[in-house]
Amino acid sequence: MSRSVRTRPEGSGQALSEAYDTALLDLDGVVYAGGNAIEHAVPSLAVARDGGMRLAYVTNNALRTPDAVAAHLTELGIPAEAGDVITSAQAVARLIADQVPQGSRVLVVGGEGLRVALRERGLEPVESADDEPVAVVQGYGGPELAWGRFAEASYAVARGLPWFASNTDLTIPSGRGIAPGNGAAVEVVRIATGAEPQVAGKPLPPMHRETILRTGAERPLVVGDRLDTDIEGAFNGGVDSLLVLTGVTDGAQLLAAPPRHRPTYVDADLRGLLTGQPEVVGDGGAFRCGGWTAAAGAGRLELDGDGAPVDGLRALCAAAWTAAGDEVCGLDAGKALARLGL
């Protein structure tokens, strides 16, 4: 089946942890939220790792250093080293280093993760537009990032300096809900200057390149909770993906996904790494998965049966994506999703 016209989630006779050599795991919304481990994440990753799967943690969050992220994961009960962590700060630092001379000054609007990544590439982070930078880089700086930092970026960008962004995620999950992400901060500078940054993070190729360079993965599986970063990034990189429903994506968004946002597999949480994925079977104009049957009716998606909610969602995806083809499904799925509790 062409990757560009996926019409149903795929099945796998093997556990995904056996079918792929490396899991490229997003962090926020997949492994943890608000600093706390998501239910089932710790034991599921332990089993996958003990079975021989390499675990790499790939995050668009440029705030923390790989050392800090690895220490946090280890605290949660997920043993990790800095080399297991790939951040958008590392990807954007490589992107900048490919375009400016060694030792160049770069104005940083963001956190320590950006500064460490720039130094790793032989670049000097500075704090002011008056420090003679040759470029500007912007990454998530956390809730305490001062408003004046956006002014410094705007002054420099308005002078014609090249502008880079670690990522443009508009939101970031937290323990209290959904908060503004780096993309919202990038919009502040964009509005002030009218400029457009070069972006490194998911779903764009610089992040995939950084990940493959650092992990050496041959059969990677992207695992994420966001359609527009994790799943689209896998699509752009030509690799398979697993969407877990522990973060920002809900059932309605998944059913309405355009082709580039349709994951290979769908599961409730990281336990999905440890099992085979059930096949969604076409049955006339309907689709069966587990105990559920889904079909596209007159202006709506219809669902019948019983069983695990995620099986019903897989069947609904097949009905919705088949009906939509290369477009976005516009069928009403409210009653079907309510039946699944999604």
Q: So which residues are the catalytic ones?
A: 26, 28
> Strand 286-289 vs strand 281-283: parallel, antiparallel, or unpaired?
antiparallel
Strand partners, 37: 32
> Strand 301-305 vs strand 163-165: parallel, antiparallel, or unpaired?
unpaired
Q: Residue 106 and residue 138: Cα distance in Å, rounded? A: 10
Q: Residue 118 and residue 116: Cα distance in Å, rounded? A: 6
Question: Which residue has tokens 């006339």?
Answer: 284
Residues near 185 by beta carbon (within 8 Å), at least 6 away in sequence: 109, 138, 140, 141, 145, 150
Q: Residue 317 and residue 295: Cα distance in Å, rounded? A: 10
Cβ atoms of 22 and 220 closer than 8 Å: yes
Q: Residue 162 and residue 179: Cα distance in Å, rounded? A: 28
Is residue 38 classed as helix, strand or coil in its secondary structure? coil
Enclosing H/E stretch for 198: strand 198-199
